[in-house]
């Protein structure tokens, strides 16, 4: 293999730049040329592709977002779109591809592999919802963004006796909610993986108020539903003054944490190693702090699950 490509796709995540940098530098270290594909699968289809040099990825390791930009591309879900993408790769003489993104992007990578084009996936999403890796690139940064925000909400919560509902991202996964709730001592954490009952939530709030709690924080994962609706419901059922904060896209931005930069550097470099050793259709990941690889098809079919022990702990510590 003499020339590879790299793209970022789907929702952007802090640390994607560090992963791009690792792919580019690791490849050039091995005398392999690297081409950057802009705007994910959209740019792959349209041929928005440029050669990257060592300097192209200078000064990006600490920046959020992705220098290659990202996109959602419906056309790539079709066979025709995928064929157009492969034509472009062939036109540029690219022999292998690294796709940095979430599970949707991995489905695209799997399709390319099925069509005979060697592709490796690097998990980059703040949702931490990919099976086959303990952590995805961007999760730690987003988690820190969430807890910084909740710390501030806690300050104002202590000044007023109110119930605070905070809606956090995560799509269908509750990891960001669970981890931030545990890290911030939230009274209740609602995640899509565990059914909840509003009566329990209300009773918990009332018990807390009876034993003198001045305020409560409830974290709602976006996959559970609207924080605004849940806040309204709580206010109606408790008559406690309730305020809702939807953190939104601030969770996607910001300078990646040290942990995300290190993870991105390790996973990006590992993806290049796999391509060079003739692997395809694999994703790289980290399990028990060791680099691993799995078939993308296996990872996609297993789906994501929440750490039940951690969920129980969050409940035990917030009685």
* CA-to-CA dists, residue 287 to 132, 210, 236, 294, angstroms: 8, 43, 44, 11
Q: Which of 127, 175, 184, 260 is catalytic?
A: 127
By CB under 6 A, which span of 31-39, 97-105, 155-163, 187-195 interacts with ligand ADP?
97-105
304 part of the interface to ligand ADP, by CB under 6 A:
no
Which residues are CB-neighbours of 140 under 8 A, at least 6 positions away?
256, 257, 259, 260, 263
3-state secondary structure 133-146: CCCCECHHHHHHHH
- Shortest distance, position 108 Cβ to ligand ADP, whole Å: 3
Q: How deeply is 129 buried, as exposed, middle or buried, from its count of CB atoms within 10 A (0-12, 13-18, 19+)?
A: buried
131 part of the interface to ligand ADP, by CB under 6 A:
no
- Cα 106 to Cα 83: distance, rounded to the nearest angstrom: 17
107 part of the interface to ligand ADP, by CB under 6 A:
yes
Residues 105, 163, 265, 314: which binds ligand ADP (CB under 6 A)? 105
Which residues lie across from 113 on neighbouring strands? none
- Shortest distance, position 73 Cβ to ligand ADP, whole Å: 4
- Shortest distance, position 105 Cβ to ligand ADP, whole Å: 3
Question: At 285, is the secondary structure helix, strand, or coil?
Answer: strand
73 part of the interface to ligand ADP, by CB under 6 A:
yes
72 part of the interface to ligand ADP, by CB under 6 A:
yes
Q: Which is nearer to ligand ADP, 107 or 276 (CB)?
A: 107
Residues 17, 84, 103, 170: which binds ligand ADP (CB under 6 A)? 103
Report CA torsion sign: 222, 223, 226, 232: negative
Please count the other Cβ atoms lying within 10 Å of the Cβ belonging to residue 83.
12
- Shortest distance, position 143 Cβ to ligand ADP, whole Å: 17
- CB 168 within 8 Å of CB 244: no
- Shortest distance, position 291 Cβ to ligand ADP, whole Å: 21
77 part of the interface to ligand ADP, by CB under 6 A:
yes
292 part of the interface to ligand ADP, by CB under 6 A:
no
Enclosing H/E stretch for 218: strand 216-221
Residues 23, 26, 33, 41: which binds ligand ADP (CB under 6 A)? 41
172 part of the interface to ligand ADP, by CB under 6 A:
no
Enclosing H/E stretch for 129: none
Q: Is 127 a catalytic residue?
A: yes
Residues that bind ligand ADP (CB under 6 A): 9-11, 41, 72-73, 76-77, 101-105, 107-108, 111, 125
Task: Show which residues are catalytic.
Answer: 127
């Amino acid at each position: 293999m003499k020339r590879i490509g790299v793209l970022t796709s789907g929702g952007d995540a802090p640390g994607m730049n560090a992963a791009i940098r690792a792919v580019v530098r690791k490849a050039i270290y091995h005398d392999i040329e690297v081409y950057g594909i802009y705007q994910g699968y959209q740019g792959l289809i349209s041929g928005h592709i440029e050669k990257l040099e060592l300097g192209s990825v200078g000064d990006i390791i600490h920046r959020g977002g992705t220098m290659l930009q990202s996109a959602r591309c419906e056309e790539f879900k079709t066979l025709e779109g995928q064929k157009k993408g492969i034509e472009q790769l062939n036109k540029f003489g690219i022999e292998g591809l690294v796709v940095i993104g979430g599970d949707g992007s991995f489905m695209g990578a799997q399709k390319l592999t099925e069509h005979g084009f060697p592709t490796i996936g690097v998990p980059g999403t703040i949702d931490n919802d990919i099976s086959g890796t303990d952590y995805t690139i961007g999760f730690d940064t987003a988690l820190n963004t969430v807890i910084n925000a909740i710390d501030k909400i806690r300050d104002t919560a202590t000044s007023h006796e109110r119930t605070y509902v905070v809606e956090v991202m995560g799509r269908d996964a509750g990891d960001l909610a669970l981890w931030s709730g545990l890290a911030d001592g939230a009274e209740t954490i609602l995640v899509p993986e565990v059914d909840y009952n509003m009566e329990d939530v209300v009773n918990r709030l009332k018990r807390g108020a009876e034993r003198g709690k001045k305020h409560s924080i409830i974290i709602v994962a976006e996959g559970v539903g609207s924080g605004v609706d849940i806040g309204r419901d709580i206010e109606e059922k408790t008559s406690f003054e309730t305020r809702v904060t939807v953190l939104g896209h601030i969770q996607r931005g910001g300078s990646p944490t040290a942990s995300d930069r290190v993870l991105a550097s390790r996973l990006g470099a590992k993806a290049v190693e796999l391509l060079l050793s003739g692997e395809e259709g694999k994703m790289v990941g980290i399990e028990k702090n060791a680099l691993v690889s799995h078939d993308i098809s296996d990872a996609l079919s297993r789906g994501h699950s929440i750490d039940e022990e951690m969920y129980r702990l969050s409940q035990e510590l917030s009685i």
